[in-house]
Structure 1
Amino acid sequence: MKKNLYFLSALTLGLLTFGCNRNQSTASSDAATAPVASTQAVTYSNPVLPGDYADPSVVRVGDDYWATATSSEWAPLYPILHSKNLVDWETVGHVFPDKLPNWAEAHFWAPEISYEKGKYYIYYTAKKKGGNLCVGVASATKATGPYTDLGPLVCQEVGSIDGFPIRDEKGDLYLIWKEDANSVGKPTPMWGQRMNEERTALTGEKFELFRNEKGTWEGGLVEGPALVKRNDYFYLFYAGDACCGRSCTYGVGVARAKSIRGPWEKYAQNPIMKKNEAWTCPGHGTVVSDGKGRDYFLYHAYSANSTVYPGRQGLLDEITWGSDGWPRFQNASPSLTAIAPYNTNAQDERNIQDEFTAAKLASSWQWFVEQSPTYSVQTSQGGRLLLQASPDKIGSVLSKRTVEADYTATAAINQRQLSKGVAAGLAAVGDPQNAIGVSVQNGEISLWTVKENKETVHAKVPAPSSDLIQFRLTAAKGDQLQFAWSPDGTTWTPLNEGKPLNGDFLPPWDRGVRIALTAKGPAGATAAYEWYRLAH
């Protein structure tokens, strides 16, 4: 994530804005005044969450910001991210770090983080075992957990997604969510219903807030509700139209009402955010106040230059409020650079290196939801990762997000520590049925593709006799992949020189590409990795 330092006129950029009061914020912003700007200001560049962080949600508790995002089919589920300034984020844990909720099996989407009376709540979407999509909830006394799952709250026949909690004008607790009727070609209502204080059940009758309107920018759906209370109105930010993949058409709209039960008025100038030359398909975010009179929207969008390959990345933009009471964004589109909320510049986190010298793997490592890998870390002698193999088509996987379309990944494999029959490698992975990689097995290097669970071997060459072998994967434009190997990291031998493998089939509709260490072979056998590097 390349962050740049700029010194700009605060007056030119219009720093003085008015804030809103989020019902779950720890500090009221109605009476707050926007801070007096200095003559110089530091800027940040989007994205603030580089890589695949779809449907981000954020809450402020005191001086701390906590965020989470969609996991989809990558575990561990629902990252917990921490920041002091809204632009520097660190993954500090997960809602479900070790196992899935006992009622759910897939599609772990759209978590919404909230805080009230000493407890953190995560409202999340998941597919019920043998059923459809539901909105569930988990709670903890610390943002980092451990979280206790409270189970599903609502499971409609065609699916229920994107839960959001809000207290009404009387202080009663409600859940707002979307009925996933677009999955069967029908309109998509936003529903509301009372929720008990324990967050274990909905009570009373549900009611409709509004639904998508045919022939408008909303297209086939409205979803991703995020509500704030400002003066006499509740404002509901929402996303409309197609969310994901190369044909996405997402945008951001807003509606308001004086009561949760309506009537709801959609803003006549919707969408209030749409694509530009740098970012496309913006949407599905939440609003957070900094407690000093400024409101921000943390949401996702695709990079227009790299389309779907890094996935939907987390962006931040300030909300301004017009004299008519409606919210707006600068230029009605995602910003490339903007004034940093706390006058601090974000760190460059595009390059990743892991020498496996820490006793525990970093929280940014991921694996398939349906296949939790067994591994250990040897911290002595410079560090080493031991990954147990799996006979599955790709094998066991430990992966990292990519953040741009152009990158180089390298890894060192210890051949002397490689169990017989194990293929240890480095691969670009979309899901368990789609990957492109290179591996070494029984003294032979293979370049391979797994597409729709069918394997094709493109090249085989003898492996060097060195203790270590290094693999390199170079990507251009997200899907043009070149592979090479080296015994020492100095002399590289290409495996498909001049003929890049096409990886456009890799990312599923709702995810970005990961770069993974892979171990395929007899269960219980191991592969040994000395280090892993990913440079953008």
Structure 2
Amino acid sequence: MLPGDFPDPSVTKVGNTYWASATSSNWGPAFPLLKSDNLTSWQLVGHVFPDKLPAWADYYFWAPEITQEGNKTYVFYTAHKKGGNLAVGVASADRPEGPYRDHGPLVSQAAGSIDGFPMRDEKGQLCLIWKEDGNSVNQPTPIWAQPLNETRTSLTGEKKELFRNTKAWEGNLVEGVSMVRYGDYFYAFYAANGCCGPACTYGTGVARAKRLLGPWEKSPRNPILTATEAWRCPGHGTVTQGFDGRWFLLHHAYAAGSFENVGRQGVLTEFAWTAEGWPSFVAQPSAPAPNPAATQPVADEFTGAKLGLDWQWPIEDKPQYALRGGRLRLTAHPHKGGAALGRHTLTGNYTASTTLLMPAALPTSATAGIAAHGDPKNMLALTAGGGKLQLWERRDGQQKVLAETALPATAAKAVQMRMQVSGGNSYRFAYSTDGTTWTNPLANDGAISGQFLPPWDRGVRVGVLAQGPTSVTASFERFALSSQL
């Protein structure tokens, strides 16, 4: 699996290696690039857009579909068009690890266009499959197909509807189509109903047709993948075949124990083909086995020349930072909750910690420390500044101090800060001047609910922040994250 917030995962084979990407939404860098030789252990090796975003787009970087044909790698993706609506764009590279060249948007309808997927028809004509985002304006959600030129830079001909949400279980949408040709049929695996958040109702269906443009028939057994006690709201993935010939869908789902706080994680579920020519999942997703990638403690000593690939930031507000002498120097920001850097959480139970250097030197106008980031409007944090330690929440853009104490004299040069999380959304913060004795600013070692933190479409990040004028720089030493199942 892909532990952490990796919605809408996509996978393709290049030689003896699997390459995957996933939605990054409003966290930068845009679109992670991961590789694996077995579909279960993944390594983050880069991003499609590591530094500079496409000039035409500003946020909501969704649903990258990574594909390989010949010696070219293509990523079809969704993003919000500046001054417009959601659009499907495409980027290409000579190697799956990049660098990628963006070719701009291919289609942007009035209601929005999302979830692009390339597919050749029975005559070899390349087509783009996508969803019209009608549910955003209380309309149906047609799945369209239209010819695409061989350079993948422009649609040609006319679009044709393949199918739309017509069944009761599909609710107000169908989306996230992944196609594969098997035997006499094209098969479209698709997601339907509510994708995200605590009230999600997502499930997976399949439809088939002998010609790409139809007519399409939906499986009488839909939905073919539904919630279990371990995983909720499974959907939006890509079909792939293992090197041993077995068939899988790499899709996302919420782990029941952490749910939306960790986000939609990548889950690999096997299926087989029935005598009637329909895919049937061998088993519904079960409780995850202990995953070394999820439980291995990680620590960043900030000794490299660059920040590690696991670090992220709000997509529209990349902070200014530098690494020097084993320290992360983060320039403060006066707006939108401050300058933020965060990492994926991997389970619902974890401990994060860092050391803030020279907190006594921070002026009254600035504060810095450890934080749980939902988005720039929603945070929980323990910070120091102006001779004080403050525990605070930022909810819907309004900041409120929950507890305050004087910065101990022994913490003038450094203060260690810790965040302990259980059940996904129960937060306990503490500080220490010696690494042994920890003090919770709240009375009775109280916990804070972080249920308000995660946005509807992404999980919480944990990391550091610095609020205040840009003339202020906060210095951090070591950031560690230890997760438990």
TM-score category, normalised to shorter length: over 0.9
Seq. identity, %: 52
**Which of 385, 389, 404 lines up with 2:347 in the alignment?**
404
Task: Assess if the C-alpha contact under 8 Å between 1:407 and 1:474 holds in 2.
Answer: yes
Q: What residue in structure 2 maps to residue 439 of structure 1?
A: 383
1:168-183 aligned within 5 A: 168-183=121-136
* Aligned partner letter, 1:362: G
Q: CA deviation at 1:442?
A: 2.5
Q: CA deviation at 1:305?
A: 2.0
Q: What residue in structure 2 maps to residue 521 of structure 1?
A: 468
Q: What residue in structure 1 maps to residue 456 of structure 2?
A: 509
> Aligned-pair RMSD on alpha carbons?
1.6
Correspondence 1:218 to 2:179: no
Q: What residue in structure 1 maps to residue 285 of structure 2?
A: 334
Q: What residue in structure 2 maps to residue 7 of structure 1?
A: none
Correspondence 1:483 to 2:434: no
Cα distance between partner residues in 1 of 2:52 and 2:207: 38
3-state SS of the aligned residue for 1:217? Answer: helix
Cα distance between partner residues in 2 of 1:452 and 1:459: 19
Q: What residue in structure 1 maps to residue 357 of structure 2?
A: 414
Q: What residue in structure 2 maps to residue 244 of structure 1?
A: 196
User: Would the alpha carbon gap of residues 278 and 433 (structure 1) be closer, same or farther in structure 2, given more than 3 Å must change?
Assistant: same
Cα distance between partner residues in 2 of 1:250 and 1:223: 11
Q: What residue in structure 2 maps to residue 253 of structure 1?
A: 205
Task: Assess if the C-alpha contact under 8 Å between 2:262 and 2:459 holds in 1.
Answer: yes
3-state SS of the aligned residue for 1:202? Answer: coil
Q: CA deviation at 1:187?
A: 1.1
* Aligned partner letter, 2:375: D
3-state SS of the aligned residue for 2:347? Answer: coil
Q: CA deviation at 1:416?
A: 6.4
Q: What residue in structure 1 maps to residue 395 of structure 2?
A: 451
Q: What residue in structure 1 maps to residue 318 of structure 2?
A: 372
Q: CA deviation at 1:334?
A: 1.3
1:90-129 aligned within 5 A: 90-129=43-82
User: Would the alpha carbon gap of residues 478 and 416 (structure 1) be closer, same or farther in structure 2, given more than 3 Å must change?
Assistant: closer
3-state SS of the aligned residue for 1:316? Answer: strand
* Aligned partner letter, 1:234: F
Structure 2: state its 5+ residue gaps: none
Q: What residue in structure 2 maps to residue 426 of structure 1?
A: 370
Task: Assess if the C-alpha contact under 8 Å between 2:418 and 2:429 holds in 1.
Answer: yes
Cα distance between partner residues in 2 of 1:290 and 1:346: 21
Task: Assess if the C-alpha contact under 8 Å between 1:485 and 1:494 holds in 2.
Answer: yes
3-state SS of the aligned residue for 2:92? Answer: strand
Correspondence 1:531 to 2:465: no
3-state SS of the aligned residue for 1:507? Answer: coil
Q: CA deviation at 1:349?
A: 4.5
* Aligned partner letter, 2:463: A
Task: Assess if the C-alpha contact under 8 Å between 1:413 and 1:469 holds in 2.
Answer: yes
3-state SS of the aligned residue for 1:493? Answer: coil
* Aligned partner letter, 1:286: T
3-state SS of the aligned residue for 1:205? Answer: coil
User: Would the alpha carbon gap of residues 85 and 346 (structure 1) be closer, same or farther in structure 2, given more than 3 Å must change?
Assistant: farther
Task: Assess if the C-alpha contact under 8 Å between 2:62 and 2:79 holds in 1.
Answer: yes
* Aligned partner letter, 2:15: G
Provide the aligned length of Structure 1 versus Structure 2: 479
Q: CA deviation at 1:499?
A: 2.9
* Aligned partner letter, 1:55: D
Q: What residue in structure 1 maps to residue 187 of structure 2?
A: 235
3-state SS of the aligned residue for 2:374? Answer: strand
Q: What residue in structure 2 maps to residue 37 of structure 1?
A: none
Cα distance between partner residues in 2 of 1:499 and 1:188: 46
**Which of 4, 24, 27 lines up with 1:71 in the alignment?**
24
Cα distance between partner residues in 2 of 1:227 and 1:96: 25
Cα distance between partner residues in 2 of 1:153 and 1:470: 49
Correspondence 1:297 to 2:249: yes
Cα distance between partner residues in 1 of 2:56 and 2:126: 24
Cα distance between partner residues in 2 of 1:418 and 1:531: 19
Cα distance between partner residues in 1 of 2:114 and 2:257: 30
Cα distance between partner residues in 1 of 2:360 and 2:383: 15
Q: CA deviation at 1:254?
A: 0.6
Correspondence 1:357 to 2:303: yes
**Which of 212, 218, 239 lines up with 1:287 in the alignment?**
239
Correspondence 1:197 to 2:150: yes
Q: CA deviation at 1:337?
A: 5.5
What CA deviation, in whole Å up to 9, does each residue of 1:397-442 have, x standing for no partner? 1101112222211111111695544311101111001101010112
Cα distance between partner residues in 1 of 2:383 and 2:184: 62
* Aligned partner letter, 2:190: Y
Stretch deviating more after TM superposition (56-65 or 290-299): 290-299
Q: CA deviation at 1:335?
A: 3.0
* Aligned partner letter, 2:177: P
User: Would the alpha carbon gap of residues 309 and 239 (structure 1) be closer, same or farther in structure 2, given more than 3 Å must change?
Assistant: same
Structure 1: state its 5+ residue gaps: 1-47
Superposition TM-score, scaled by structure 2 size: 0.96
What CA deviation, in whole Å up to 9, does each residue of 1:287-312 have, x standing for no partner? 11224322211100001122211000
